Structure 1
Amino acid sequence: MARKTIEERLAQLEAQKKTLQARLNKQERARDTRRKVLLGALVLHRLEHGKDELSRALPDWLRRELPGFLTRDMDKELFDDLLAPDGDAARRTESGE
């Protein structure tokens, strides 16, 4: 069996490094996505069930902050119920819109 040259071994190690880096990046993206989902679930839970001062202030804060954060129309549509003035959101919920 012929021995690999140093260049061949370095190329093989570089390929392994790239593969491992891609795997690490995928794990980091998955962890980041999981954190965002859990944080979003907490915010939604507080909006629906929270009785404390922070939970009561949360809708107003979201109405101030979300429009500047959301850039795509399809994303804004996801939060129509939160972005509408209080009366509009309540009427849409009651009418089933």
Structure 2
Amino acid sequence: MFFFFVGGLEQQVRQVLKSRAGRCIACGSRADLVDYDKVLKLFFVPVWRWPGKQPVMYCNDCKLFFPQSLTPPPPSMDGVPDVLRCQFCRREVDGDFRFCPFCGNAL
């Protein structure tokens, strides 16, 4: 007799506390400060959810949750343009782009 467990534990955003609060540590794009829930799923159906202990940063682009203590400081607003660095070709790209104009990969 075999038993297969199809389920898992994941994190889901409950509420955005501060939009664009910092930068992602993986891809460098904008990250939000969020409250989150941990969700237990069985057969892809949420069964049980409980709140996270403290707010964390969440990147909308790469879907990464990470502690606020690891966040680089947000860029200053003294007229300096908001610049990202492409994770593939490492060139600086304007912060309004979703795709790198040099190599075409998603930012």
- TM-score above 0.5, yes or no: no
Larger radius of gyration: 1
Structure 1 or 2: larger helix share?
A: 1
User: What TM-score, normalized to structure 2?
Assistant: 0.24
